[in-house]
Amino acid sequence: MSFIPLLLFLLPILFITFSLFATPSSSAVDTFVFGGCSQLKYTTGSPYEFSVNSMLTSIVNSAAFTTYNNFTIPSSTSQEALYGLFQCRGDLNSADCSRCVARAVSQLGTICPNSCGGALQLEGCFVKYDNTSFLGVEDKTVVVRKCGPSLAYDSDTLTRRDSLLGYLAASDGSYKPYRVGGSGDLSGVAQCVGDLSASECQDCLSDAIGLLKTDCAASRWGDMYLAKCYARYSKGGDHSNGGNDNNNNNNNNDEEIEKTLAILIGLIAGVALLILFLSFLRKVYEGDKDGK
């Protein structure tokens, strides 16, 4: 096989292999939004540590089968009881949900070492545990409030934005813990945690959307996370990237580009070496034939 036909044969293989490595990143689902830990600490090796590890393991295992679940580990003393839950964004499939929850649990172990309670919100999921019962308790404490740059004077966009938020806040009497909507280049999403009742969910989302509409009155995007629900909107794909600044986002993009280029260069080098090796074998084979 000559050099040119061999190269033409190997190029499709190179392209297919590179395409497999260059699949889109799932980092958006795993992007950090907010987290917090209780000041109360447990003793290493205590029964409470065993309960925390057991609950977090159960959370990760359960996320492979459902997008929401809550757990209670009872105890003879109220201080030793443990409560927890996880929830994924309503549009995630089971694989993305499972991966997001596993990522959140892993990060909780890093940012909340030996804490009796902790909560972590990623773009795609929410995980919380505590020794104080919070299951079924409505909590409208503001934990994240972020607004994007001004839209300047754009009455059409502002009108459509208000209509979109009104749609997300509306209730037809049914239980809708996850809500999405759009109007042209505007998109919005709202969700409450699954341990709330229908009326509590509606109340929480109404407050979050009302605050979002007021505090981010003329912004291109806005995030309003309360303790048990959130509401967000954005125009033209602009967004806060989960509360990270643009420099962090650009750094992440640069790292992905560098990894991709490194993979491509490695593949090209490998193909070049293979071509040289086959060319060498061909010359040896032809030399042997001429010598016979």
Residue-level pLDDT at 277? 66
CA distances from 125 to 25, 121, 200, 203 (A): 17, 6, 20, 21
The pLDDT of 231-240, averaged and rounded, is 81
- For residues 139 and 80, the model is more confident at 139
What is the full DSSP assignment across 124-176?
A: SEEEEEESS--TT-----EEEEEE--B--S-HHHHHHHHHHHHHHH---SS--
pLDDT of 15 over the 60 cut: no
Residue-level pLDDT at 78? 61
φ, ψ of residue 118 to 5 degrees: the values are: -160, 155
Residue-level pLDDT at 6? 44
- For residues 107 and 24, the model is more confident at 107
Q: Tell me: the pLDDT tens digits for 102-126? A: 999 999 999 999 999 999 999 999 9
Helix (H/G/I), strand (E/B), else coil: 75: coil
The pLDDT of 35-57, averaged and rounded, is 95
| CA–CA separation, 250 and 70 (whole Å) | 36
Residue 28: CB atoms within 10 A of its CB come to 13
CA distances from 162 to 157, 171, 183, 204, 217 (A): 9, 16, 10, 18, 9
Residue ranges covered by each domain of the chain: 32-135, 142-243
Residue 65: CB atoms within 10 A of its CB come to 10
What fold, for 32-135?
A: Killer Toxin P4; Chain A (3.30.430)
Do 32-135 and 142-243 come out as alike in CATH topology?
A: yes
pLDDT band at residue 252 under the 50/70/90 scheme: very low
The pLDDT of 190-206, averaged and rounded, is 96
pLDDT band at residue 172 under the 50/70/90 scheme: confident
Residue-level pLDDT at 3? 44
| CA–CA separation, 57 and 188 (whole Å) | 33
What fold, for 142-243?
A: Killer Toxin P4; Chain A (3.30.430)
Q: Tell me: the pLDDT tens digits for 56-91? A: 999 999 999 999 999 999 987 766 899 999 999 999
Region of residue 264 (phi > 0: left; psi between -120 and 50: alpha; otherwise: beta): alpha
Helix (H/G/I), strand (E/B), else coil: 64: coil
- For residues 257 and 234, the model is more confident at 234
pLDDT of 17 over the 70 cut: no
Min mean pLDDT across 4-8, 33-37, 149-153, 162-166 is at 4-8
- Which residues of the chain form beta strands (DSSP E)? 32-37, 68-73, 82-88, 118-122, 125-130, 142-147, 178-183, 186-192, 221-226, 229-235
Helix (H/G/I), strand (E/B), else coil: 23: coil
Residue type, 258: E
If you average pLDDT over every residue of the chain, what do you get?
Answer: 81
Q: Are the CB atoms for 228 and 192 separated by under 8 Å?
A: yes
Residue-level pLDDT at 206? 96
pLDDT band at residue 290 under the 50/70/90 scheme: low
pLDDT of 32 over the 70 cut: yes
Residue-level pLDDT at 217? 87
User: pTM for this one?
Assistant: 0.73
H/E stretch holding 43 reads: none
- For residues 183 and 61, the model is more confident at 61
